[in-house]
Amino acid sequence: MDWSFITEYYPLYIRSAVLTVTIGALGIVLSVIIGMICALCRYYRIPVLNGIAAAYTELSRNTPLIVQLFFLFFGLPKVGIVLSPEVCGTVGLAFLGGGYMSESFLSGLVSVRKTHLEAAASLGLNGFQTMTSVIFPQAASVSAPAVCANIIFLLKETSVFSAVSLADLMYTAKDLIGMYYNTTEALTMLVIAYLIMILPISVIFTLLERRIHRAGI
């Protein structure tokens, strides 16, 4: 192990990690918003939007992120739309994650028993009150584990951003290996960087899930 190499080039990983986390966080936030909108369209069976949301969900979940990124980065310029690598990464991750989030949210919404909805109606609650006071709290507890797993999955999927020349962690590792052939050191720093980035989030989500189940929410 060449420690001098690690000492010299670990700042590159820090900068790459910041970029990866920034784009990953933005993409995940957008995917949550998209997923919630699609789930509501499908739950309430809104005409036209229900079909569009279902088709989008199937398309996003059944195509690899790298194919989506290639379409955004190499395909769209053919029709005059040029996106930067950062925008491609954000949009691609949001597109992929939206489908997974939609399924997670929808599973929570449909888990609410009809008797609870009937009870809310008998109490005179309107649609918004029923959603916020009856449906959402129950759906959130059911969806939480899947949503947490999706977030971790999407963070790991950022490793393919390098395919569109985005200087993320994987791009940095491959660049250093190509220039200096210090494969062991470069990959070791890559693994450590992903562990530092993802492991704390995984632990926090695990504790959160346990607390939800313990509280009986």
pLDDT over 90 (residue 172): no
pLDDT tens digits, residue range 192-217? 999 998 888 888 888 877 776 665 55
Lowest-pLDDT range, 21-35, 127-141, 157-171?
Answer: 127-141
Give the chain's mean pLDDT.
Answer: 87
Query: Measured between alpha carbons, how far is 176 from 185 in angstroms, rounded to an integer?
Result: 9
Q: Are 23 and 84 in contact (CB under 8 A)?
A: no
Q: pTM, whole model, 2 decimals?
A: 0.85
Q: Are 74 and 113 in contact (CB under 8 A)?
A: no
Lowest-pLDDT range, 11-15, 161-165, 184-188?
Answer: 161-165
- Looking at the structure, give the CATH architecture of the domain made up of residues 3-215: Orthogonal Bundle (1.10)
Query: Measured between alpha carbons, how far is 89 from 170 in angstroms, rounded to an integer?
Result: 13
pLDDT tens digits, residue range 95-135? 999 999 999 999 888 888 888 877 878 877 777 788 877 88
Model pLDDT, residue 145: 84
Model pLDDT, residue 60: 92
Model pLDDT, residue 213: 66
Domain ranges in the chain are 3-215
Identity at 170, one-letter amino acid code: M
Q: Are 23 and 161 in contact (CB under 8 A)?
A: yes
